[in-house]
Amino acid sequence: MTAPQIQSPRKAAIIGGGVIGGGWAARFLLNGWDVAVFDPDPQAERRVGEVIANARAALPALSDTGLPPEGRLSFASTLAEAVTGADYVQESVSERLDLKHRVLAEIQAASDAPIGSSTSGFKPSELQQGARAPGRIFVAHPFNPVYLLPLVELVPSAATPPDEVAQVQALLRDIGMFPLLVRKEIDAHIGDRLLEALWREALWLVHDGIATTEEIDDVIRFSFGLRWAQMGLFETYRIAGGEAGMRHFMAQFGPALAWPWSKLTDTPPFTEALVDRIASQSDAQSGHHSIRDLERIRDDNLVAFLRALKDRDWGAGRILNAHDQLLAERDVQNATQHVANETELVVLPSWIDYNGHMTESRYLFAGSQTVDQFLASIGAGLDYVRDGHSYYTAETHLRHLAEARAGDRITGRVQVLGHDDKRLHLWISLVRPGPDGETEIATLEQMLLHVDMAAGRTCPAGASVLAQLAARAASDAARPRPAAAGRHVGAGRPLPQPEGAA
């Protein structure tokens, strides 16, 4: 059978290397795309590099399958150089329509690739004015940090062909994002309109001396912000309506919309005094942290929130699980050779102890996952267990040989050392691949007993399982027996015995 062809990495061009452009670069790069960045600012390479460094520390912690090999990052000296050969272009320059028109025209003079704009407020029809190929320009508005938050508001205009929209949606899902199609053009799309309403009200609360910046943030992060993170607005209010649901909630609180509870779209006078008050309060609240420190704190918290949602396959966690499934399927499709009885694992943040590396119980877990896959390969998997039989671990000897840290990829391998109809003696090696070869981080030697689960006692394994096990044992007999097999705890130079010890 001919092995599937592995596609060459696709190329994304990022025009504008600020916070959003850097986030886009990180999102594409860490999902295996080659990325070319153009920004004439001499500090752009440093800024983008710092954003990507933060992304490397955070994004892999959200994947249980491991991200694909990182693409190649380059910084182009001209815009034309950046977009040449690109499969996709993301424009993230300053929010000035005249500037965006000039940049978009320059992009289309050198590339026919689809162009997404990170604009927070402009409609796609405004961006497309005077364009050579207006249908290839659309809004792709993300939220910061782009490399962690999955939502991107995808806003086409009437000039954008439906098949173009579908292709871009697929492209964005490929890098783990959730492309929300905004079906009707509107200034500031959906997300920023909601944020703007809250922002205006917050400015009034500070302006009128009712609350400080920290007090307002406390209200959000200790109450409805937690609800919004996993249920949004309408689903939250549906619950607030009790058993009668949303209709009851609307009937109960609808009249309050006519009361003067908020300033709505009115804004306080934007004076120097108001700016100074907000800036000084913000300095008092957060000034003891650098911006990079705050970004890392934010990212660590987001990873923890998102992983909790992922474990429950809810909200944004469902997007992450779907992306893991996509990556796993792609690994199978792109594999040039299937290595039997190898288990691939990623060290997750929850596996890390107070010393900053993988905790002891997770070495046992990784070994258990490896053995489970081995048992499935010889016909003793979950179907076999459901029929009432299983292999139970009777004894394990674990050796710690090297540290593993969050984001490391681990390969587990099994070697059969011996077996009979009721017993199975295994050697498990956990290795960490690296650029200079593999590092063995741990070994586990195990004795397993075959059990009739209903009777609660050992019994001979099924004939089919024993036949497959015998074939595997015969294959493994050609491999060298591990030198440490049979080693007991403390084998080597004897330790002094306590006085009076027998």
pLDDT number for residue 231? 82
Q: Amino acid letter at 484?
A: A
Measure the CA angle with vertex 288, ends 282 and 294; round to 5°: 80
Pairing of strands 88-91, 11-15: parallel
Residuewise pLDDT in 10s, the chain (502 residues) = 343 344 568 999 999 999 999 999 999 999 999 999 999 999 999 999 999 999 998 998 888 777 889 999 999 999 999 999 999 999 999 999 999 999 999 999 999 999 999 999 999 999 999 999 999 999 999 999 999 999 999 999 999 999 999 999 999 999 999 999 999 999 999 999 999 999 999 999 999 999 999 999 999 988 888 888 888 888 888 888 888 878 877 787 777 667 767 666 677 787 888 889 888 888 888 888 888 888 988 888 888 888 888 888 888 888 998 998 888 777 655 544 344 568 888 888 778 888 888 998 999 999 998 999 899 899 998 889 999 999 999 999 999 999 998 888 899 999 999 999 999 999 999 999 888 889 999 999 999 999 999 999 999 999 999 999 999 999 999 999 999 999 888 766 777 777 765 5
Contact 90, 24 (CB under 8 A): yes
CA 455 – CA 25 distance, rounded (Å): 59
Q: 188: phi > 0 → left, psi -120 to 50 → alpha, else beta; which? A: left
Note if the bond before 255 is cis, omega within 30 degrees: no
Task: Extract the annotated binding site.
Answer: 16-21
pLDDT number for residue 339? 45
Domains of the chain: 11-188 (3.40.50.720), 192-311 (1.10.1040.10), 339-476 (3.10.129.10)
pLDDT number for residue 4? 35
pLDDT number for residue 83? 98
**The pair of three-digit structure tokens given for residue 372, joined into one six-digit string:** 């489970």
pLDDT number for residue 5? 40
CA 427 – CA 413 distance, rounded (Å): 8
pLDDT number for residue 257? 67
Task: Extract the annotated binding site for NAD(+).
Answer: 16-21
